[in-house]
Every structure is written in structure tokens, then in C-alpha cells.
Structure 1
Amino acid sequence: MFHPLRVSAIERITDDAVAVTLSVPAELRETFRHAPGQHLNVRHRVDGEEIRRSYSICAPATEQPDASVLRVGIRRVDGGAFSTYALKELAVGDTVEAMAPTGRFVLDPRPGLYAAIVGGSGITPVLSMVSTLLTREPLARFCLIRSDRTADSTMFLDEVADLKDRYPDRFQLVTALSREEQAAGLPSGRLDRERLTGLLPALLPVPDVDGWFLCGPLGLVRGAEAALRALGADRSRIHQEIFHVADVETSLPAAARAASPSESRLTATLDGRSGSWPVEDGESLLDTMLRSRSDAPYACKGGVCGTCRAFLVSGEVRMDRNFALEPEETGAGFVLACQSHPVTPEVELDFDR
């Protein structure tokens, strides 16, 4: 369900990014209470067409639902309808429709040593994690390794610097710029697998870190995961959220496409209500459901945000791609409805699990 939230502030944080603050009415504060690392799904109409996007919450998470505002970071994407609207037209006093916070890329504050490797706008959910953890857990430490193109393109530069000033003994910051030399710190260049494999052991006892959080472009996240695994990090301690995957090949071999049955039917349960519909040729299970259930959850339709996550009760599906579910989730039977196509004549999904 979408709720209207008033825009109370818009701050330009780089030439191509803004931080948007949304006011939450008292009666919705429990609904919009978030865990550090979660995101908001928002929608807007452009030329009569509904556009949905997912944006991470950068504000710290409160222990009680008493916060009256939410803050999200939005970076302009080439050809991005909503991000262009947010940077050029959205104004204080406007209304944004948003769903309750969602996402499993979260950090539950507790004692220990944590670290993140982020690129570009990947700092947004991690900023919420760091600020929440260091404020609420005095026995926790955090190491942030971030990569950006230039200093001017770095999102939330002041907020991160403030955390460094407030928690000098518990917050370690390492910055790499790919297109600009720094007066101090790492030499310029991308943080790829080879570079991280050499850098990380000098910063942290990699296998002993209680939680690794990787966020940003696909190449950075995949390279960081490979480096961590090579250095002995346990897979269960590595968490990731991927942005910017439009350049990934998604076409399927002819044999995989041929595996779809000539006729199939989807049964799905959402918010306690069940229904059954025929699957039209070539459409995803999400699109099948949307023909009759406009409240079916989704945002990106690209296999990235995880909003359409559902439990596969019965039948078999194939997913075109998956950048949202971790191996433990797929192993437990969860799929992305926006990327799933039937392999068996009957498929049943449960969105309520």
C-alpha cells in the first residue's frame, strides 16, 4: 500500500544527487519505522504512466517509532524518469507516494566489528547503518571503505566526515577516488578484486569481521565479494545490495526459453487473499498477477530491489536474473516474481511469508 508523504526538505548534495526529506504523519510512524539499510519504494506518474523506483534511506533508525521524518538519497540516472523529476521538478510541499520501508540488506545494532565496501550511491543505506550502530551500540566499531569518481561527486561527504569527528576511535574511513588524486590517502584508481585483496588485510582482520556490507555497482560488489572469500571471510557474514546492472546480459538460451510449458497457471497469495490466473506467453509471474492485482508488490522490475520476493510453494520457475536474493534465500525457496517464468504447468507463490 502506498501512502502520501509531504516533502519537507530537498538538499543538493552533489551536482547530480539530492537528499529528500519526507514528513511522516503521527498515525503512520509505526508503518514507516525502518531498520538501518532498508529502502523506500516510491511512485510517480509521468505522462500518465506510473513510474516506481526504490531509494535507500540514509537517516539513522530510531529504536522507537517517534521519528517524524525520513531522508532518502537520489542520484540522477541517465534516462531515469523519477530521478530526473526529483532533481529538476520536485519541490518542498509536494507529495510523494511511498510504501512502508522494505529490504533485507540491514544491520542489527550489536557489539562487534563491522565493515562496508561501497561505491557511489551505495553509501546511502550504509550511512544509515553506520550512524545507527555507532549511536546505539557503544561496543561496536565500523570501517567504511568507499569509492567515488571525484571528491565533488561524493554523496554525503559532510555526514561521513561528521561521523569521523564524533567517533574517532570507533569509525575508520578509507576513501578511494577513481578519477582524481588525493592529497592524502589511497592513490587514484578503482577498487577492483586485485586491489582489495592487497588492501583489506592491512586494514582489518578480514575473517574476524562480524559483518561485511557491500553496496554499489555490480562490478564493485562482485569484485569485493571475491576478494573477501579469497581472504577467508565466511560467506554468511557477507551481505550485498547491487545498484546499476543495466549493462548485464539477460537474454536466455533457446533451450531455457523452450522449457516453458505451452499453458501454465499461477496461484498466488498476497495479504491473505489468494487468486489464480493463466500465464500469458512470455510474461513474468509478476506481470501475470498485476493484470488482476494492482497491489502486487514491485519497484524496479529488474531483479535488483527484491520488493517482489515471494515463496515458491509448489511448481518450478526459472529466473532471468537475480541481484537481490542471497543464496540462503533462494535455497530456502524464495524467488523474484518479476524475473520468474513457469517451468511447470502449475505454479504457486506466497507473498506473505
Structure 2
Amino acid sequence: MFHALRVAAVDRLTDDAVAVTLAVPPELRETYRHVPGQHITLRRVIDGIEVRRTYSICAPATAEPVLRVGIRHVEAGAFSSFALKELAVGDEVDVMPPTGRFVLEPRPGHFAAVVGGSGITPVLSIAATLLEREPSARFCLIRTDRTAASAMFLEETAELKDRFPERFHLVHTLSREERQTGLPSGRLDAERLTELLPALLPVADVDGWFLCGPHGLVDGAEQALLGLGVPRSRVHQEIFHVEGSVGESPARPAAPAAGGSGPEATVTATLDGRQGSWPAQPGETVLETVLRHRADAPYACKGGVCGTCRVRLLDGEVRMDVNYALEDDEVDSGYVLACQSHPATPTVTVDFDA
């Protein structure tokens, strides 16, 4: 469910990025209380067209929820263009409550992250909350940006280093700019990370790895970690959403389903405790079928990235086109992305509430 929230601040981060803070009224504090690493979906009608975009919360998780998100402009991006050029303090934006499973509940241990570009956003919340709440925890942040001028939240990460010098290790690389000190410039691919990570920290002793950014970086970091013997269960990843497109890199292979997409199927869905059954039109995804009858069905990117439309498959089989959002254990537990799932059996039953 969306609620209209007032824009409390719009802060310029770089030439092409802003941080937007949304005011949460007292009666909605519990609704918008977030776990570090979660994201929110923003909705706005632009030129008569409803536009939804998902952005990660960068603020630490506090008693009184602070909704602050980083928005980077992308070419032809409807919402990002609006946010950078028009959005102002006092405006109202429809906001969905926080969701997402790329999270870390504060606990003792040693944690690390490899992030690129705007992938810093959820990890900033994760690291700040962990260090503030758990005195024995340590965090190593390895971030990469094109140039120093393009890096989002530089001041915030520098502040963490000043506040927690013994427990927060920051490594910043640039792919398109040489620096007088620090690591050489260049992409952080699997080969480079395989050499770099063991030199920075005891890889085997890290209790949890958080990878966020472009698909190429996340995939390369995952390959490097698995090659270094890190159990897959310790690796958590999130591909950042780029204005309605997931790029041309291949997604993580989706769970195969027997049979092809039939021309006729019935989709049964449970949403907010109410169940309904409807015929699917040829070629429709499960989400498209449900939306024709339940406009309140949750979704954001429709590109298999954000995971907002995650459902549990209770009966039947589906074919997922792509999967950037679900981790292996979720797929094994029967979860699918409604926006990418096509019925592969005459009947399909899903649960949005699971």
C-alpha cells in the first residue's frame, strides 16, 4: 500500500545524483520502520503515466525511521530526471513501505561489502547501523566508482571512518581516474578481486559478504569469493535498478520449469488475505494477470531486479524469464518473481503474502 509522504530535503550529492529525504508522520512510523539494507518504491504520475522506481534507504535504522534515498540520473530516466530537476521540498510522493531481503540485522562479527556506484546506498545503511549498535562488530567496505567526483555519499563514508577508525576499513578504487595514493585505477573484475581481497582482510573469517552494484561487478565479486572458498550462504547480493532496464548482461539463471508456456492457464493468487482466480491471457506474466483484477498487487521495476513482486509458488509450474533478485535458497523454497513468471501448467497458484 502506498502513502503520500512529504519531501523534507533534497540534497545534491554529485552533478548527477541527489539524496531525497521523506518525512514520516508519527502515525506511520511503524509502517516505515526499516531493516538496514531495505528499499522503498516511489510512485509518481508524470505526464499522465504512472512511474514506479525502487531506491534503497541509505539512512541508518533508528527508533524514529528516517527515509533517505540516493537517486542517480540515468539517460532518459523518467523518475530520476524528475527527481534531479523538479522534485522540491514540500512536494508529496507516493511511497510503499520498506521491503527487501538484502539486509543485515546487527550482530557480532566481521562483515564486508563490495559495491559499485549507487550500490553504496543500502550498504551505507547496513554498515552505519551495525557499527552504531554492535560494539564488537567490524566492517570492511570496498567501493569502486568511475571518478571521485561521481562518488555518492563520500562524506558519509568518511564520517564512519572518523567515528569508528578501529572497526571500519574503507578501500576506495576508481575505474577511470588515476590517484596519487591508494590502489591503481581500473575495473574490479573477478581476477583482480581474487588477488585483492586476501590482501585486504582474512576472507575466510568474514561472517557475511554484501555485494551491490552493476551486474558485472556483483557477478565478478561472487566468482572471486566462491573461488576463494567462501560458502555461498555467506554471500548476499543485490543488483541496483537502472530506470526500467537491467542492462544487457545475462541474469542469474532462473529455475527451470517443465513444459512450455501454454496458451491458456488459470492464475490463483492470495494478496492481503484475499484470494482470487483469473484466466491468463496468452503471453502474460503472473503479475500482469493479477494486475488486471487487483490493481494493488505490489511491483516496481518489472525487470526482475527489485524483488518487490516476489511470490511463493504453491501449485503448478512457471517459467521465469530472468532472475536478478532471488537468491538460490529462495528459489529452492519455491519463491518466484511474478513479473517474470509465465504459467507453464494449466493452473498456477501463488501467494503474495508468504
For residue 47 of structure 1, report the CA deviation from its aligned partner: 1.5
Aligned partners of 2:112 and 2:209 also within 8 Å? yes
Q: Which residue of structure 2 aligns with residue 291 of structure 1? A: 292
Q: Report the equivalent of 1:25.
A: 25
Percent identity of equivalent pairs: 69
Q: Please tell me the residue identity of whatever aligns with 2:322.
A: R
- The question of 1:49 aligning with 2:49 is answered yes
Question: Are the aligned partners of 2:305 and 2:324 in contact in 1 as well (CA < 8 Å)?
Answer: yes
Q: Report the secondary structure of 1:134's partner residue.
A: helix
CA contact (8 A) 1:212 1:237 kept: yes
Counterpart of 2:210 in structure 1: which amino acid?
F
Secondary structure of the equivalent of 2:102? coil
Deviations 1:204-240 (A, max 9, x none): 1112100000000000000000000000111000000
Matching residue of 1:273: 274
C-alpha deviation, 1:248, in angstroms = 3.3
- Using structure 1 for the length normalisation, give the TM-score: 0.96
SS of residue matched to 1:131: helix
C-alpha contact 1:207 1:234 (8 A) present in aligned 2 = no
Aligned AA (1:236): S
Equivalent residues of 1:7, 1:91 under 8 A apart: yes
Unaligned runs of 5+ in 1: none
Distance 1:164 1:221 in 2: 24
Aligned mates of 1:235, 1:10 — CA distance in 2:
38
Counterpart code for 2:88: A
Q: 1:182-223: per-residue Cα shift (whole Å, max 9, x none)?
A: 121100001000000000001111121000000000000000
**CA RMSD between the two structures:** 1.5
Q: Deviations over 1:59-97 (max 9, x none)?
A: 0002x3x23x31111011111110110000000000011
Q: Which residue of 2 aligns with 1:216?
A: 213
Correspondence 1:106 to 2:103: yes
Deviation at residue 262 of structure 1 after TM alignment: 2.2
Secondary structure in structure 2 of the residue aligned to 1:8: strand
1:235-277 Cα shifts (integer Å, max 9, x gaps)? 0000000024222368x9xxx9981112111000000000111
TM-score, length of structure 2 as denominator length: 0.96
What SS does the corresponding residue of 1:135 show, helix, strand or coil? Answer: helix
SS of structure 2 residue aligned to 1:212:
strand
Matches within 5 A, 1:96-135: 96-135=93-132
What is the CA deviation profile of residues 283-314 of structure 1, one whole-angstrom value per residue up to 9, with x for unaligned ones? 11101100010000000000000000000000
Aligned to 2:186: 189
Deviating 4+ runs (over 4 angstroms) = none
Q: How far apart in 1 are the matches of 2:181 and 2:231?
A: 32
3-state SS of 1:287 partner: helix
1:75 aligns with 2:72: yes
Instruction: Identify the match of residue 138 of structure 2 among 113, 117, 141.
Output: 141
CA contact (8 A) 2:263 2:281 kept: no
Aligned mates of 1:257, 1:109 — CA distance in 2: 41
Equivalent position amino acid for 2:19 in 1: A
